[in-house]
Amino acid sequence: MRRSQSLVPTLREDPADAEALSHKLMLRAGLIRQLGAGIYLFLPLGQRVLDKVNAIIREEMNAIGGQEITMPVIHPAEIWKQSGRWEGIPEMFKLQDRYGRDLCLGMTHEEVVAWLAAREIRSYRDLPQIWYQIQTKERDEARPRSGVLRTREFLMKDSYTLDPDVAALDRSYGAHDRAYRRIFDRCGLRYWVVQSDTGMMGGLGSHEFMAPAAAGEDEIAICEGCGYAANVEIARGVPAPPAFPAWTREEVATPGARTIAEVSRLLAIDPRLTIKSLLYIGKTSGPVLVLVRGDHALHERKLARALGQEVRPAHPDEVRQHLGAPAGSVGPVGARVTVLADEHLKDGVYVVGANRDGFHLRGVAPGRDFDCRFADLHTVTAGEACVQCGKPLVVEKAIEIGNIFKLGTKYSVALDAMYLDESGREQPIVMGSYGIGPARIAAAAIEQLADGDGIVWPWSIAPLHVYIVCVNVKDQAQRAAAEAIYDACRTHGLEAMLDDRDERPGVKFKDADLLGIPVRVTVGNSLVKEGVVEVRSRKTRQESRVPQDKVIDAVHAIRATESRN
């Protein structure tokens, strides 16, 4: 590519509406432009990065027997009605054709896969199968954000496995796990494989691939001792217990104290000696009083999982109606609703709301002073002990770059995707589904590797390998040498950008740093005076001066030390 003729619109300043580092840099480096909320164009260099990522994905998917196909973006409503997902997904874009027939834009493709399988898979001899595509998904996200990290239209590699039984599904799942690790390793990312919530959609198990980054939307808990890693949606930890005083049960006046902080300050006690009582309304069960330790936060998904239904916080008037006291003074003793407590409240004595405005009860022991069910409900915080080995947990923000999911037979049963087993019996196909977000890989790489001057691409997914700066394009000797190096790169399999613009050197150097292409070759004065050019690593910033005919060797040498493949 010649810079003078390429669409690489770099920006000198941070765009006003970008917050995340990767968002700013992708805009500034001219990789993307925004058309609307969560709708992006990929410009030439951004496209090249996606191409690199997708090539790696294809290689590794093909290596485990994946077969690439392309499924439609427009789906007839019928298959979604059959699976039961036509209603109740607010993210689904729905539309009608000119005859008024209902259609939707594909946000995922389990239905289409099951439809295909229902028609083409008949015998156990046809199994297993791995089908995948790299294709556009459409989701009407409630809140698109952070540039390319959560968008309404995005590229996804989605694959689907078809197996005769759960044991075979486990093998397909394992193959994906290994392929994903190779993919993310090759893309130069630091990541964790974490246990994740299978959600309301059910399923037999799932894992997420999480790349730690400040812009990440998810939080993961990690044990550096034993390798335990889980999304905080399900992560368990053992909080350090406080020293319990020898309290006897009594009512204490706490005028005006509503929050845990106020109550513990008033009573001059450790907040860990209090219990936070929260009234929730279950979709089917009605009111439930939920208890967590005063210093803990309830994780609503954990609550929903424990109850097996969706929940919402009660309104203030509902709190008064069910408990006879305002929020801030409520507690489990004498409450006429179901009580669910965090499992770490089993032992000890606490201060709880008295269900009487301005009063709390001191010395209350869960199980003794009130009945309740125990479950893991609190959000893990950094420093809690690992449930497996006892070492302190670390909590990090992370970008979900991939997920693998054991679906089971939900879709095959719904869409009648059956096969005949060895004994001639009809059985539902056992499915799995697996996703990777190529743009998220690019953003995660930027987040993890960028420095103060811009992007630092790993070799494997860099849009180009070499950035050639011709310091003064009006100097014929420089110009000729730069062109010769540019040609040499091409003949030696190196992808190069020749910055042939008539700009000040500083402009070109700043741009080279911003773009993050692994090697910069500078053709300038030292060529004229000493016959050498400079070859510089973007990552290490180390520079060597080499004769013009040794440039390719020097580039390969840097690549050999910095690249994993």
Partner RNA sequence: CGGGGUGUGGCGCAGCCCGGUAGCGCACCUGCUUUGGGAGCAGGGGGUCGGAGGUUCAAAUCCUCUCACCCCGACCA
Q: Which residues bind RNA (CB under 7 A)?
A: 10-20, 23, 34, 36-38, 85, 88-91, 107-108, 110, 139, 141-146, 150, 199-201, 217, 300-301, 453, 471-472, 474, 502, 504-507, 509-514, 522-527, 534, 536
Instruction: Supply 82's token pair.
Output: 């059959």
Question: Considering the complex, what minimum distance in angstroms separates the CB of residue 414 from RNA?
Answer: 12
The gap between the terminal CA atoms of the chain, to the nearest Å, is 24
* Residue 472 CB neighbours (<10 A): 16
Q: How far is the CB of 346 from RNA (least distance, A)?
A: 26
Least distance in angstroms from the C-beta of 453 to RNA: 6
User: Counting every residue, how long is the chain?
Assistant: 565
Q: Which residues pair with 352 in a beta bridge?
A: 361
Q: How far is the CB of 292 from RNA (least distance, A)?
A: 15
Contact partners, residue 221, CB within 8 Å, separation at least 6: 228, 229, 230, 231, 232, 235, 237, 380, 384, 393, 394, 395
Q: Identify the bridge partners of residue 520 per DSSP, sorted by sequence position.
A: 467, 536
| Shortest distance, position 194 Cβ to RNA, whole Å | 14
Neighbours of 369 (CB within 10 A): 18
CB of 539 to RNA, least distance (A): 13
In this structure, which amino acid lies at residue 12? Answer: R
Residue 12 or 368: the one with the smaller Cβ distance to RNA is 12
| Torsion angle in degrees (nearest 10) through CA of 444, 447, 451, 454 | 80
Query: How far is 434 from 183, CA to CA, in rounded Å?
Result: 13
Of 71 and 107, nearer to RNA (C-beta) is: 107
Q: For the chain, what is the radius of gyration of the CA atoms?
A: 29
CA–CA gap between residue 123 and residue 118 (Å, rounded): 11
**Residue with smaller CB distance to RNA, 38 or 348:** 38
Question: Which is closer to RNA, CB of 441 or CB of 514?
Answer: 514
Distance in Å, CB of 332 to RNA, minimum: 23
Question: Could you tell me the smallest distance in angstroms from the CB atom of residue 213 to RNA?
Answer: 13
Within 13 Å of residue 443, how many CA atoms lie on the same side as its CB?
A: 32
Nearer to RNA, 38 or 458 (CB): 38
Nearer to RNA, 142 or 560 (CB): 142
Q: Which two tokens stand for residue 256?
A: 């005006």
Residue number with CB closer to RNA (84 or 227): 84
Minimal CA–CA distance to 354: which of 339, 374, 333, 375?
333
Report, in Å, the least distance between residue 471 CB and RNA. 4
Closest CB to RNA among residues 221, 273: 221
Nearest to 342 by CA among 296, 305, 384: 296
- Is the CB of 142 or the CB of 246 nearer to RNA? 142
Which residue type occupies 228? Answer: Y
Give kind and range of the element (H or E) at residue 562.
helix 551-562
Whether cis (ω within 30° of 0) applies to the bond prior to 15 is: no
